Structure 1
Amino acid sequence: MSPRQLTVRIHGALNDFLAPERRERVFTHVLQGSPSVKDLIESLGPPHPEVDVVLVDDAPVGFAHRAKPDTRLDVYPAFQAPQVPAESRVGPPLPAMPGFVLDVGLGRLSGLLRMLGFDTLWRNDFADDQLARLSHDEARVLLTRDLGVLKRSEVEHGYYPRATDPADQLVEVVRRYGLTSRMRPFSRCMACNAKLSPATPDEVRGRVPEGVAERHTHFHQCPGCQRVFWPGTHHQRMQALVDTLRGLEPRA
């Protein structure tokens, strides 16, 4: 008997998750049983939250579609997928103002997302099941470099940052989710995620270094952790990063 095979082509950024010999090319895969295309795709490497369109013999299908031999499977990520009706995409629509939840290794990225004004949850003791549950129950984008967490069935929105530097990771996430127009810089506390409120020099006197209240007139304070923020050197570096992000071209 000939093996039960189908032809597969993984497109765009999803190639990052494939074995080197299968990247950027058509390959055959031997079917074991009759798996869903979601299970088949993840067995090859790509996590389902990064998949936007799945075609079988050029027709869009859902994740539950059963893979069959002697067919061709094409798998596309967001922004690199062919035009299909919205209801034919397996990638769910993003909320107008997305929130995020990050794993333990992305603490610095969490601060940068908060700096841009995005509701971002991070703790250094989140368990894998907590991350997946928060992502699902609160419709948050899960950012993690743990593929096992990203492949949990309850996760709908998720992304695996390729870079290891937090600033580069931020560029990836802003591009991936089209966040440039949704940024509200310096509106959240980078430490605890609470929304900041304006404060006068008199209100923060005694809570900032000596002389700062005399040199600055614009302050923000956090109602959660009581931190005070002002436009010092650190703020200027952050503003430069914001300006860079505002100049990003949309991902092709």
Structure 2
Amino acid sequence: MEPPKPPVTLRFHGALNDFLPPARREQTFPHLLQGTPAVKDLIESLGPPHPEVDVVRVDGEAVGFTHRIQPGAHVEVYPVSMDPAPGPRLVPPLQDMPRFVLDVGLGRLVGFLRMLGFDSLWRNDYADETLARVSHDEDRVLLSRDIGVLKRGEVARGYFPRSTDPAEQLVEVVRRYGLTSRMRPFSRCVACNAPLTSAEPSEVAGRIPERVAERHSRFQQCPDCQRVYWAGTHHERMQALVDRLRELEGSP
């Protein structure tokens, strides 16, 4: 009779514990293998989606997602962070000006990201396979609170916002991707995502309230949907949010 194979032991670090049941958080735990699964399959069977994983060490050696896990191995899994654990990183480097695609449940977050100047796609009818394909084909970060979408193999960069509040989700994403130095506030249409252009008062006449025309002389317009923007009360509230985000830079 063949002796039983020893379990693997695993330890998930940092934010990856958010995806584990309480009994397994912040500690080493055993797990019986079924066969010799790839690293990606083992990790995702336990909860965390692979785009949130930065470094994996098996018996002290950094490995990739396709590495096969053998019985008795010890696996350490580290999250994506601005200060990653030593070893080859599994998530591709972020672009100088990252672009995003968001799932249907993040419609308010997409407006905030566009307000900061980030090219961000969103539709209320994106299917899961479309989100994954767009993320891959257009090299976009996928933001989703659907863990199943993030586990799709095409997704290279992705994040699961922990909060359900859009403003707090924005803070998470800005911190996660170090976006404060990349922000270009009020440069993109929050409604349709197109870059804004400056406009003279004569160009927007008839498309803005009379009282606005009397008080303002600087405008921006969207060349695609023709919306007009000016520094009104809403702009002031958004500027306060931008200032808050900039204050967060370097804070723990």
Query: Shorter-normalised TM-score: what interval?
Result: over 0.9
User: Relative to structure 1, is the Cα distance of residues 213 and 113 closer, same or farther in structure 2, using a 3 angstrom cutoff?
Assistant: same
Question: Which amino acid is the alignment partner of residue 18 of structure 1?
Answer: L
Q: Does 1:57 align with 2:40?
A: no
Distance 2:236 2:159 in 1: 29
* Secondary structure at the counterpart of residue 247 of structure 1: helix
Equivalent in the alignment of 1:151: 151
Distance 2:249 2:75 in 1: 30
Write the deviation string for residues 74-124 of structure 1: whole angstroms up to 9, x where unpaired: 00012263222xxx2111111111100000000000000000000000000
Q: Does 1:69 align with 2:71?
A: yes
Question: Which amino acid is the alignment partner of residue 67 of structure 2?
Answer: H
Q: CA RMSD in A?
A: 1.1
Displacement after TM superposition at 1:251 (Å): 7.1
Question: Which amino acid is the alignment partner of residue 224 of structure 1?
Answer: D
Question: Which amino acid is the alignment partner of residue 125 of structure 2?
Answer: D
Contact 1:175 1:251 in 2 (8 A): no
Question: Which amino acid is the alignment partner of residue 4 of structure 2?
Answer: S
Distance 1:218 1:17 in 2: 47
Equivalent in the alignment of 2:172: 172
* Secondary structure at the counterpart of residue 224 of structure 1: coil
* Secondary structure at the counterpart of residue 109 of structure 1: helix
Distance 1:66 1:60 in 2: 13
Write the deviation string for residues 145-187 of structure 1: whole angstroms up to 9, x where unpaired: 0011010000000000000110000000000011110000000
Unaligned runs of 5+ residues in structure 2 are none
Equivalenced residues, count: 249
Displacement after TM superposition at 1:250 (Å): 4.0
Question: Which amino acid is the alignment partner of residue 50 of structure 2?
Answer: H
Q: 2:4 aligns with which of 2, 16, 31?
A: 2
* Secondary structure at the counterpart of residue 156 of structure 2: coil
Equivalent in the alignment of 2:188: 188
Distance 1:126 1:154 in 2: 16
* Secondary structure at the counterpart of residue 236 of structure 2: helix
Identical positions, percent: 69
Equivalent in the alignment of 1:206: 206
Question: Which amino acid is the alignment partner of residue 84 of structure 2?
Answer: A
Question: Which amino acid is the alignment partner of residue 93 of structure 1?
Answer: P
Equivalent in the alignment of 2:23: 21
Distance 2:91 2:79 in 1: 9
Contact 2:36 2:68 in 1 (8 A): yes
- Taking structure 1 as the reference length, the TM-score comes to 0.96
